Amino acid sequence: MPSRATVRYSPFNIGFLVSFDIFSFDRRIVSGINSCGYTMPTPIQAQAIPEVLKGRDVMGLAQTGTGKTAAFALPILQRIIDSGASFRGPVRTLVLAPTRELALQIHENFITLGKQAGIRSAAVFGGVGATPQVRAANQATVIVACPGRLIDLLNQGLIKLNNVDTLVLDEADRMLDMGFLPDIKRIMAKLPAKRQNLLFSATMPSDIRELADKILVRPATVQVANTAPAKSVKHVFYPVSQHLKNDLLERVLDDTNYDSVLVFTRTKHKAKNLARKLSFRGHDATFLQGNMSQNQRQRALDGFRDGTFKVMVATDIAARGIDCERITHVINFDVPDTAETYTHRIGRTGRAGRSGSAFTFVTREDLKIMREVEKVIGSVVQTRELADFDYGRPNRNPAPKRPASSRPGGRGGQKRSFGGNKSSRNSEGGRRKSSGRPSSGKSSSGKPSSRRRSAGRA
């Protein structure tokens, strides 16, 4: 096994970088930078670009919204130009990404940044016909792919990777979470042994370290703001019993002045059903989950980005690749499983110095993980209760065969503050909105409601 070493950088050592001029990019790439509106490199770009330009392996640790795509795309494009290789194939650079949305986003960045140079990029992912993708891949120098579809095409002999000299694993932690490691190994087995390897991840669990040790040779490790959310984000915990979350979400949305809201749920079925219930209640809501066709997913993303939809409900996996500058609020309808996942979710708001808000619906069972979140944030998070919300309403449709000790807290009106800090009342909570109770099919007045028809089975 070749010897390996890690070179670490401090973000405080890059303060002299005031523009992209320091990298001496080709004028055609500079044109792409200008068309994207980039004015100065982000910390991850300032640290990673010089090492990629040198041909070194790189491990980049950065959360969503830090500019990591350009951190590898820009130097890769410059190296393609310097090599004198054809801009229209064969494939020289392979980028692997966990989801269709992220693959498409990276592909679009390569197109924009490399447009003036004429460097062709192709996107390869499932959910759409393979023939156009194969045709584009065979005329491209850069391929951005999801592992599953790429393996299928490789096994059929429709795509060749024997000229690849640069491999990028983006969102590597999520790819492993989704079970893509066997596919990644099979893909790497078809690549030339001598190549540059770049691995980017939001988190660094043990399996990512093991993968990095196997494929990276003497890597430069660059890490920027990977452990704490942006300081421009305001964090609020809403203590609530599980069965009251739907009603609380409607009230919070009614009482909040927002531009765009991204709501996270734990399952794809809940994401779809919750979005439909919100739409029935008059909110401009959509959802994103794995069972949608690519056209449906793209319509939802485009509508969220252009403001047609103000609320998007998504799972962690489906949300990878969402890039929307309009997001002012992130709501954790379901608490994330780790503090790192919380940081990754919250990275969708408060970008580029803008302010943002992160609301989390917390049950008693979630207190332990939220303590970990507070450690990451570095302060005790404010808790908030709505002034006239009925926290004590019992669950009229409890889950069957569930041990009483694991149910989310009997009377939701008890013991809702944590960390020793006092809960703050919502100043706008005085006006009572009609709130849905999908489990009972009745409105707050006790009358039957027709909205139950809009809720699919979970």
Residue type, 281: R
Residue 196: name the closest of 215, 210, 222, 209 by CA.
215
- What gap in Å lies between CA 252 and CA 271, rounded to an integer? 17
* DSSP states of 155-194: HTT----TT--EEEE-SHHHHHHTT-HHHHHHHHHTS-SS
Residue 68: name the closest of 83, 46, 39 by CA.
46
- What gap in Å lies between CA 150 and CA 18, rounded to an integer? 39
Buried/exposed code over 360-390 (b: 16+ C-beta within 10 A; e: otherwise) = bbbbbebeebbeebbeebeeebebbbbeebe
Give the CA-trace dihedral at 63, 67, 70, 71, to 10 degrees: -60
Rounded to the nearest angstrom, the gap between the alpha carbon of residue 445 and the centroid of all alpha carbons in its chain is 39
Segment holding 223, helix H or strand E: strand 220-224
- What gap in Å lies between CA 371 and CA 418, rounded to an integer? 9
Task: Please give the domain boundaries of the chain with CATH numbers for all domains.
Answer: 7-224 (3.40.50.300), 233-454 (3.40.50.300)
Can you give the pLDDT at residue 403?
Answer: 52
Q: Are 159 and 143 within 8 A, CB to CB?
A: yes
Q: What is the pLDDT tens value at each position of the chain, 458 positions in all?
A: 333 333 333 333 444 445 898 999 999 999 999 988 888 888 889 999 999 999 999 999 876 667 889 999 999 999 999 998 888 889 999 999 988 888 998 999 999 999 999 999 999 998 888 999 999 999 999 999 999 999 999 999 999 999 999 999 998 888 887 788 899 999 999 999 999 999 998 777 778 888 899 999 999 999 875 456 667 789 999 999 999 999 999 999 999 999 999 999 988 899 999 999 999 999 999 998 767 777 788 888 889 989 999 999 998 776 766 777 789 999 999 998 888 788 888 888 877 667 889 999 999 999 888 998 888 888 889 999 998 899 988 887 776 655 554 444 443 444 444 433 444 444 333 333 433 434 444 443 444 443 333 333 33
Which residue has tokens 């990028």?
168
For 11-129, where are the alpha helices, taking DSSP H only?
A: 27-36, 43-53, 68-83, 100-114
Residue 214 tokens, joined: 């196997």
